[in-house]
Chain A
């Protein structure tokens, strides 16, 4: 389940606006990496490019050994959680989560009972037991987010991509869900990338953080590395005020993760 993601020198222009200017990134299997940056830095564009939702002008994306360009969107098996969740509003929670499994061509589709069991299992995983029959309009923001996550996980994705997963939620719910997401990640072990503009969130959740600015990666490293050795002036400015002692970083709670190779790629 844990696939590596390699992004090699991606460039993407929207008309004349350069959204991504030669971005490269390597994510190890099972890693949780944050794409952090101000609005317009290209982080969502990068995430969508990796997902295959945006075509890019040059560069390559690899999932393990497979060049993503050879895969259609359907074949990529990417779990994508949209910023506004994009739940199918006319379908129940059960149908939403089961969607990816039911959409498979007949040959590879699991039997109904299996699908049902998987959905129930996932609902349990995201702690929404018993809500199969509800509709998105009847759920709170945090619940919807977890349904979106369960839906993405149902297809056993190679990689999990989250676009500002907590952006639409209020502060308290955000904090709780952050913790919860980290625990979930540790349990399932998916390679995960998520986009955020919230420094605290990135530093608290991620194994490594990639800081983007104007379509380029300014620095990638563990939270401790970034805070102690900011690579550029922008990074120093951007993380100004972050106090690692106040944040419950992953590195702070698990020394083993410090053994990650530092790859600073400009």
Chain B
């Protein structure tokens, strides 16, 4: 009887998990990687931005070219984000509430800008509207400037951020189905009344989430805008482009100062994004992971 060794009973969680030591090591490695590699750039931006003190930091931001860049960034976002939000809602409505042939093709096409390099995204507009393009001479003769001017920047940004809102809304609205809308219609509501009072409240958090991501990308876009912009100081430089110019002039402190602003935007985006994910996980299609 005594030679049957009864093992010490451990909880089932013990059987199917790594030892404490291993866990510790893994967590440590992960944290080290995160802080030492992922976070380091962020910290560097802020430290280098303030390297010469807060006064110079503010001076860099108050510089007229910097102010122009900030304004242009805001303008571009103010156009691109609402437009893509409307597109996203329209696309999600047509895809989620109806069945039609070619639906999958439509979804694939909407996703295209995601898989295209930002530089190529800008290139296509240069080929379409640039001086050597087919439309080039016509545009020139009508004094319409697209490339190397603000409209081109707006277009390239819209291209790059096109799928963001749609991608958030489509799976959610597909999961929500059509029964609430049908109920609303049987109760006598019009299509628009149904949309604003029934559909929109059901998608508002996902819409906000999509707009948040769309905005972050719109303000931070570099490659595509760089190609179409022409880099004309004070006129066609967004914040990222302005940062590039400053950096290339070895004006590092100023470059990092402006970069800090964008980094702050990134942090704000992250905070809001996480807040939305934590509180409204079931209202967001894509946030079911955390």
Contact = CB atoms under 8 A, between A and B. Distances in A.
Contacts, number: 59
Nearest to A81: B183
B2 interface: no
Interface centre among B179, B183, B190, B197 (most CB of A within 10 A): B183
Contacts of A146: none
A53 B186 contact: yes
B182 A155 contact: no
Contact of A103 (B180, B187, B201): B187
B186 A73 contact: yes
Give the interface size bracket for B toward A: 10 to 19
B188 A53 contact: no
B34 interface: no
A89 B199 CA distance: 11
A84 B201 contact: no
A155 B186 CA distance: 10
Contact of A99 (B182, B189, B190, B202): B189
A155 B187 CA distance: 7
Contact of A74 (B179, B189, B198, B202): B189
Contact of B184 (A89, A90, A99, A154): A99
A43 to B, nearest CB: 18
A56 interface: no
A80 B202 CA distance: 21
Contacts of B180: 86-89
A233 B161 CA distance: 63
A189 interface: no
B193 interface: yes
B201 A90 contact: yes
Interface in B159-200: 179-180, 182-190, 193, 197-198
Contact of B188 (A51, A89, A90, A103): A103
A86 B182 contact: yes
Contact of A78 (B179, B186, B197): B186
A158 B179 CA distance: 21
A155 B185 CA distance: 12
A37 to B, nearest CB: 22
Nearest to B204: A90
A100 interface: yes
Contacts of A155: 187-188
Interface string A80-97: 101010111111000000
A148 to B, nearest CB: 8
Interface of B: 179-180, 182-190, 193, 197-198, 201-202
Interface of A: 51-53, 73-74, 76-80, 82, 84, 86-91, 99-100, 103-104, 151-152, 154-155
**What 9 A-B pairs have minimum CB-CB distances, sorted nearest first?**
A100-B187, A103-B189, A86-B179, A86-B183, A90-B201, A80-B186, A73-B185, A74-B188, A100-B188
11 contacts: A78-B186, A79-B186, A80-B182, A86-B183, A87-B180, A87-B183, A88-B180, A89-B202, A100-B189, A103-B190, A151-B187
